[in-house]
Structure 1
Amino acid sequence: MSSTAVREPLAGLEDPTEEPPKSASSKNYKGFVAGVFSGIAKLSVGHPFDTVKVRLQTTDKAHFKGPLDCLLQTLRNEGVKGIYKGATPPLVGWMFMDSIMLGSLSVYRRALNDNVFNPRPGLMGEQGKLPVIGHAMAGMMAGWTVSFIAGPVEHIKARLQVQYQAEKSKRLYSGPIDCLKKTFRNYGVRGVFHGLSATLLFRSFFCFWWGTYDIFTRFFQSHTSLSTPAINFWAGGLSAQIFWITSYPSDVVKQRVMTDPLGPDRKFPRWRDAAKAVWRENGWRGYWRGFVPCFLRAFPANAMALVAFESVMRALPA
């Protein structure tokens, strides 16, 4: 699955509305450790795509001819390290984001099912399953919740990714910690959380992600003989791409907001100012600039994350 700059939850996770097995609590450490390796795998595969995406989103049309030209120019001028600029913040932040995203998603699913959609058990004492709209609502609320961590992480990442100088001495920020310190020293907490409203809007589209995830899961369960992990993988990958198709224009505007100069040189005091600038510069095509690397990233990044996750889970002792 993708994110981008967004970090996606693992496709193989069980539905949080279902009760975990009694022995699950003793194995919690396995999921945490495996999640670390999953994040490393997803970062290794997905971050170069994300760097190309962000650079295409935040530069004028004449700077790069397209995704391939952006990749080649970056490698030629900055080497392999260039396509991994800004990788540290998401690698560190994804562990926390996964915990909050999936934890809150589980809480919201159960709360909606118990209090809104199925507050009373059926004749046999069984509680009904959460409907698609419930999954969509839980996804949106979980997206808002994780935004308060994802916002600063993505803000720092975006500023590092648009530093085009090959020599470190010529860059404004030497790394993520330096970027965070300078931003906080000069602009305070508001500077660190710059672009939070744009992040909240972008993650509202998680409703499409988790709503379609449930739809795809039910379809594969009813119409195929795929195993449960395979169903989770395909449903997760397809729903992530639905998410990006619906949310991508808002991500473009978010990146413009996050890479906007802070202080008196700020160009976009409001979200709509950035949205208008994208339209003014490139029309409707501007809202889809960089979409190809983002879309192509979804499946390989998620597939590698799943392979790493499952491999580590099997390797760790019970």
Structure 2
Amino acid sequence: MDAPEPSTVSAETDPMSIRALKDISFGSIAGMSSKVFEHPFDLTKVRLQSQVLDATARFDGPIDCLVQTWKKEGLRGLYRGLPAPIVGAMAENASLFWTYTEFQNAIRCTPIELVKCKMQVQMLMAPGLSGSPFHKLPGPISVLTSVIRTTGFRGLWLGQTATLIRETGGGAAWFASKEASAVSGAAAGIAYNVALFPADTVKSTIQTEAELRPRAPGKPGPTFLGTFRAMYAAQGIKGLYAGCGITVARAIPSSALIFLIYDGLSKRYGSQ
């Protein structure tokens, strides 16, 4: 049998490669833009989630958390931990729009979430542990190496179960809403965050426990079910949805921004 003509093979494969490259590029740009917009709200969410098991809450709510962070840490404080999710957003959104399937959940990098959450609660640590003054707090690379040094590479996947539950269910709801709704971006953002928000709360609590509630040496680390039960016992459904309000509020414009940028770039540069 004769081999296919070179021109035929090229015509079939090159457009696919170009399309994949554009999907990755457009998704990365859209993801990074949304992360810059939403990070102060994400930081607020994590800090509210991290106080559910505390005897006394540090913040009265999202507004109080934002105000206190601004007064005590300034603009830099509101963007504490941003580099890690920026990198994660590039990979996550590129894979989301490239595959358009749940394959993205397999490459969602939990170490990025771990580093981000640990950095976001650094200023909440007990005096003497926070590394004050502010500018001397460890950055993402230092946090990453510290986790590896303390718990080994396995420690980078702390909270993996909660992350996979959140991403699998949330991702399905995100794209289902995008396809079914006229106001796709906003609806998708709400569906994604509300669907399995308690899993995200448990994740943040597990990933920040070492900073805020250190365990005695040799004591077993936190588990998904154990942390879930403890949080439910402490504050019930309210505790499991701590920070959900501000998350939904930022998800509406953030998700809409992702789709607006991606669709806009696709229409402008996507045609062959």
TM-score by length of 1: 0.67
RMSD: 2.9
- Provide the residue aligned with 2:193 in structure 1: 244
Equivalent pair of 2:27/2:97 in contact (CA under 8 Å): no
Separation of aligned partners in 1, 2:48 and 2:220: 18
- Count of matched residue pairs: 245
SS in 2 for 1:79: helix
SS in 1 for 2:46: helix
Structure 1 residue 93, shift from structure 2 partner: 1.7
Deviates most, 259-268 or 269-278: 259-268
What's the CA shift string for 1:54-100, capped at 9, x where partnerless? 00000235210110000000000000111111111111122222344
SS in 2 for 1:159: helix
Query: Which runs of 5 or more structure 2 residues have no equivalent in the other structure?
Result: 1-11, 124-129
Structure 1 residue 279, shift from structure 2 partner: 1.9
- Provide the residue aligned with 2:9 in structure 1: none
2:174 to 200, 209, 231: 209
Residue 121 (structure 2) pairs with residue 162 (structure 1): yes
Equivalent pair of 2:159/2:203 in contact (CA under 8 Å): yes
Equivalent pair of 1:279/1:287 in contact (CA under 8 Å): yes
Equivalent pair of 2:80/2:120 in contact (CA under 8 Å): yes
Separation of aligned partners in 2, 1:144 and 1:317: 28
RCO higher in 1 or 2 (8 Å CA, sep ≥ 6)? 1
SS in 1 for 2:106: helix
Separation of aligned partners in 2, 1:203 and 1:35: 17
Structure 1 residue 157, shift from structure 2 partner: 0.5
SS in 2 for 1:64: coil
Separation of aligned partners in 2, 1:295 and 1:35: 21
What's the CA shift string for 1:237-281, capped at 9, x where partnerless? 313312322211111111111112177456753212211221232
Equivalent pair of 1:260/1:267 in contact (CA under 8 Å): no
> What one-letter code is carried by the residue in structure 2 that aligns with 1:208?
A
> Which aligned pairs between 1:102-141 and structure 2 lie closer than 5 A?
102-106=97-101, 139=102
SS in 1 for 2:209: coil
Deviates most, 153-162 or 193-202: 193-202
SS in 2 for 1:289: coil
2:206 to 238, 257, 262: 257
Residue 27 (structure 2) pairs with residue 35 (structure 1): yes
Equivalent pair of 1:89/1:153 in contact (CA under 8 Å): yes
Residue 92 (structure 2) pairs with residue 97 (structure 1): yes
Equivalent pair of 1:101/1:146 in contact (CA under 8 Å): no
Structure 1 residue 211, shift from structure 2 partner: 3.8
Equivalent pair of 1:86/1:160 in contact (CA under 8 Å): yes
Structure 1 residue 196, shift from structure 2 partner: 1.1
Structure 1 residue 300, shift from structure 2 partner: 1.3
> Which aligned pairs between 1:56-205 and structure 2 lie closer than 5 A?
56-59=48-51, 60=54, 62-106=57-101, 139=102, 142=103, 144-147=105-108, 149=109, 151-164=110-123, 167-168=133-134, 171=137, 174-205=138-169
SS in 1 for 2:122: coil
- Provide the residue aligned with 1:282 in structure 2: 235
Q: CA 1:210–1:21 in 2, change beyond 3 Å: closer, same or farther?
A: farther
Separation of aligned partners in 2, 1:212 and 1:303: 12
